[in-house]
């Protein structure tokens, strides 16, 4: 999965919208802290037939029904804190215009945005800008009966429980701890483990694995690891198990969707997912993924489950996420060309032939229009997705890649005229290059990253998919990015008719290197290191190329009028460097070389150049921009004539707080403390 970067943009122009034209649509609704809230359109929704619209409606309900799960996974106190703050927000009778109350509002909105009390990107705890005394005043002047309490606790005991979690910077300070010098699990606030050390978790799951098993399940993906009477055990996330009320609601809506499935293949896929949720059986999860990845004929598609492992410090537990979409037929022609030529790209990859797939199977890719984002994909979302994650399924059955073009289009609309390019690019010719080609090159980079990059290469026999542990996510994203960058400047893309000229590749090279070396640092607080996997990946690539290309002056950071800028002096040599780094990272993954992977990430991806960082923050601040973006979902509703469904209406809300409260009202299924 590739996240949206600072310079994300898109070439797709929505062709229609039910309520607004693209020109008059208000993409940005508000900005607070380091966040801007956007909306996205769903072009061509009206062109779906009635059955497809109803299918989208029920799948969208299922995409929201598990919302409480991701909150609890991120931190065990998140649901309790959310319900407490929301009751205050709804019922507080004091002065709502005071400076302190405004700070409270921002704090709550930041928590809504991050699905919990830790920043969605840095994973640092979000600290309130008001004190405990004011919090006590807020509680006192709110509806006392509206506070949801843990079983056996009164309000005073509840506040005593959550106050240190909210106000003490040292309590649960990081959602995901990645510094290997300390216990990764014990120092992480995620709720994937309870009373378990890193060593205990590794030993537990190592004991389950058979090194001779060529089709292993994703051990630990859908459970909390804890101790019962001193014995390590798994609490499986399933109907009748942990998170049962939320999963039951997901299954209810999935069942409602089945009669509207477009074909038998899609019907079986949904039924497999329900069976998995009911049993928690990871073999059925694999069966579902095989059905899903081989469904290349349906227009409407979705993801729903415990999928990405970025939130687990040792890369085993899946965060709950969901998304509903349908195929953008015109834009998909581009990805179909790439898919059809997947074997050529694999055969010509600059990696060791031992690590290439002799036969690429089932690579499918499409450009999609997102309709609903849920769980770990909302409010902040990726711009591209490649699934499933199991390496053996990728090898035997293929992978499915998507580019979320209506999402990247929304990013692009907001970035136009921001002054960003003019501030960080000194050469007018480079600015012109970026403006002319960046929208196209961004989408093509995402296509290559998701469609071919993640699906390329293979592990050597006996190498476990999680061998790189806490560095797995960063190295996998770097591998996919490098694959895309290497092929961006290949004549093959011009011959295939999907790249107009190599100048488009130059635009991508320039912006990617600038982002990795400088502009993404505006997301980092002074004195902090880089924690998030995608950001580590980008800096790793850029810093490694800057260092290794120094002798040939391939690229350089230089000063002009007191400001630092980037210059790429030789794009072809830069491409060669991308190929060399790709070969090394593929070797690391294929061989499971943890030490080499660790050294690469720690040496190039983690530490921040303080001078560059300070300068970037100062220059960015003058632009009055927010480095992070997230979305308000469209609202779908059934139109009925008596009991008969005659249409599905789509609307575009513009109030972030209202949507968050509506979701909490409709989809709060779990106890406030699990």
* CA 340 vs CA 344, 364, 489: distances in Å: 9, 8, 19
521 pLDDT higher than 50: yes
Residue 129 is predicted with a pLDDT of 98
Average pLDDT over the chain, rounded to an integer: 93
User: What is the reported pLDDT for 18?
Assistant: 31
pLDDT score at 458? 94
> No. of H helices and E strands in the chain?
24, 16
pLDDT (mean) for 454-475: 91
Cβ distance 73 to 192 under 8 Å? yes
Distances (CA, A) of 364 to 266, 340, 383: 16, 8, 17
Q: What pLDDT is attached to residue 2?
A: 53
CA pair distance 169, 181, nearest whole angstrom: 20
Q: How far apart are CA 34 and CA 14, in angstroms?
A: 28
SS (H, E, C) 587-640: HHHHHCCHHHHHHHHHHHHHCCCHHHHHHHHHHHHCCCCCCEEEEECCEEEEEE
| Residue 140, pLDDT above cutoff 50 | yes
State mean pLDDT over 365-388: 94
**Exposed, middle or buried by CB within 10 Å (0-12, 13-18, 19+), for 577?**
buried
Rounded to whole angstroms, how far apart are CA atoms 370 and 18?
Answer: 15
DSSP string, 442-491: HHHHHHIIIIIITT---PPTT--TTTTGGGHHHHHHHHHHHHHHHHHT-H
Rounded to whole angstroms, the Cα distance separating 115 from 78 reads 8
Provide mean pLDDT across the span 349-360: 96
Higher pLDDT, 317 or 434: 317
The per-residue pLDDT for 175 is 97
Specify the pLDDT at position 413. Answer: 84
Give per-residue pLDDT as tens, 612-636. 999 999 999 999 999 999 999 999 9
Give yes or no for residue 285 having a pLDDT over 60. yes
| pLDDT on residue 23 | 54
Q: 529 vs 93, 116, 123, 543, CA distance in Å?
A: 41, 21, 12, 15
- Mean pLDDT to the nearest integer, 424-431: 94
pLDDT at 1: 56
**230: pLDDT confidence band, cut at 50, 70 and 90?**
very high
- Domain extents in the chain: 2-19+27-44+328-631, 76-173
Inter-residue contact 6 to 515 (CB < 8 Å): yes
| pLDDT of amino acid 6 | 37
User: How far apart (Å, rounded) are the C-alpha atoms in residues 294 and 515?
Assistant: 36
Q: Specify the pLDDT at position 25.
A: 87
CA–CA separation, 575 vs 502, rounded Å?
Answer: 12
What is the per-residue pLDDT across 18-45, written as a single tens digit (0 to 9) for each? 333 445 689 999 999 999 999 999 999 9
Give 440's pLDDT tier (boundaries 50, 70, 90): confident
Give the pLDDT band of residue 227 (cuts 50, 70, 90). Answer: very high
418 pLDDT tier (thresholds 50, 70, 90): confident
Residue 601 pLDDT greater than 90, yes or no: yes
DSSP assignments along 239-250, one per residue? TTSBTHHHHHHH
- List, edge to edge, every strand of the sheet that includes 28-32: 28-32, 35-39, 628-632
């Amino acid at each position: 999965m590739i996240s949206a970067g600072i310079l994300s943009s898109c070439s797709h122009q929505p062709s229609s919208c039910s309520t607004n034209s693209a020109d008059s649509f208000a993409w940005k609704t508000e900005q607070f802290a380091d966040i801007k809230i956007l909306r996205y359109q769903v072009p061509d929704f009206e062109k779906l037939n009635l059955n497809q619209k109803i299918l989208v409606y029920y799948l969208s309900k299922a995409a929201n029904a598990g919302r409480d799960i991701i909150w609890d996974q991120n931190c065990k106190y998140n649901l309790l804190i959310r319900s407490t703050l929301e009751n205050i927000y709804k019922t507080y009778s004091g002065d709502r215009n005071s400076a302190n109350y405004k700070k409270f509002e921002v704090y709550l909105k930041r928590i809504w945005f991050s699905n919990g009390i830790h920043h969605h990107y840095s994973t640092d705890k979000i600290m309130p800008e008001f004190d405990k005394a004011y919090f006590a005043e807020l509680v006192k002047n709110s509806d006392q009966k509206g506070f949801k309490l843990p079983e056996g606790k009164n309000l005073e005991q509840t506040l005593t429980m959550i106050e240190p979690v909210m106000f003490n910077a040292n309590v649960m300070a990081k959602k995901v701890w990645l510094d290997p010098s300390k216990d990764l699990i014990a120092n992480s606030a995620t709720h994937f483990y309870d009373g378990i050390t890193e060593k205990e978790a590794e030993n537990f799951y190592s004991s389950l694995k058979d090194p001779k098993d060529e089709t292993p399940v994703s051990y630990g993906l859908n459970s909390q690891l804890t101790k019962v009477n001193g014995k390590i055990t798994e609490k499986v996330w399933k109907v009748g198990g942990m998170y049962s009320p939320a999963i039951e609601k997901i299954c209810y809506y999935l069942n409602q969707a089945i009669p509207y499935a477009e074909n038998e293949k899609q019907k079986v896929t949904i039924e497999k997912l329900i069976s998995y949720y009911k049993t928690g059986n990871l073999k059925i999860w694999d069966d579902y993924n095989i059905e899903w990845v081989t469904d290349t004929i349906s227009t409407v598609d979705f993801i729903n489950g415990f999928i990405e492992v970025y939130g687990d410090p040792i890369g085993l537990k899946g965060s709950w996420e969901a998304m509903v979409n349908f195929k953008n037929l015109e834009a998909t022609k581009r990805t179909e060309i790439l898919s059809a030529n997947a074997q050529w790209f694999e055969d010509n990859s600059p990696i060791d032939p031992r690590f290439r797939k002799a036969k690429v199977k089932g690579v499918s890719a499409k450009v999609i229009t997102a309709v609903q984002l849920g769980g770990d994909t909302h409010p902040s979302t990726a711009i591209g997705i490649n699934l499933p994650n199991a390496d053996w399924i990728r090898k035997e059955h293929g992978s499915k890649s998507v580019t979320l073009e209506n999402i990247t289009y929304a990013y692009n609309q907001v970035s136009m005229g921001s002054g960003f390019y003019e501030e960080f690019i000194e050469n007018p010719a480079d600015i012109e290059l970026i403006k002319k080609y960046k929208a196209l090159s961004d989408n093509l980079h995402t296509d290559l990253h998701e469609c071919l990059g993640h699906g390329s290469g293979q592990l050597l026999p006996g190498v476990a998919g999680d061998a790189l542990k806490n560095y797995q996510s960063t190295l996998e994203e770097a591998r996919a990015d490098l694959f895309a960058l290497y092929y961006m400047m290949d004549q093959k893309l011009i011959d295939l008719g999907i790249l107009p000229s190599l100048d488009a590749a130059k635009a991508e090279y320039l912006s990617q290197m600038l982002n990795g070396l400088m502009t993404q640092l505006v997301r980092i607080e002074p004195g902090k290191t880089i924690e998030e996997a995608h950001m580590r990946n980008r800096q790793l690539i850029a810093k490694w190329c800057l260092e290794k290309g120094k002798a040939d002056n391939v690229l350089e950071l230089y000063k002009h009028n007191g400001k630092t800028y980037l210059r790429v002096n030789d794009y072809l040599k830069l491409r060669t460097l991308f190929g060399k780094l790709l070969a090394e990272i593929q070797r690391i993954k294929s061989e499971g070389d943890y030490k080499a992977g660790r050294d690469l990430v720690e040496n190039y991806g983690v530490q921040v150049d303080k001078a560059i960082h300070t300068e970037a923050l100062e220059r960015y601040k003058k632009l009055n921009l927010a480095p992070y973006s997230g979305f308000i979902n469209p609202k779908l509703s059934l139109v009925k004539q008596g009991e008969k469904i005659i249409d599905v209406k789509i609307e575009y809300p513009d109030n972030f707080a209202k949507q968050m409260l509506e979701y909490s009202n409709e989809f709060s299924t779990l106890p406030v403390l699990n």
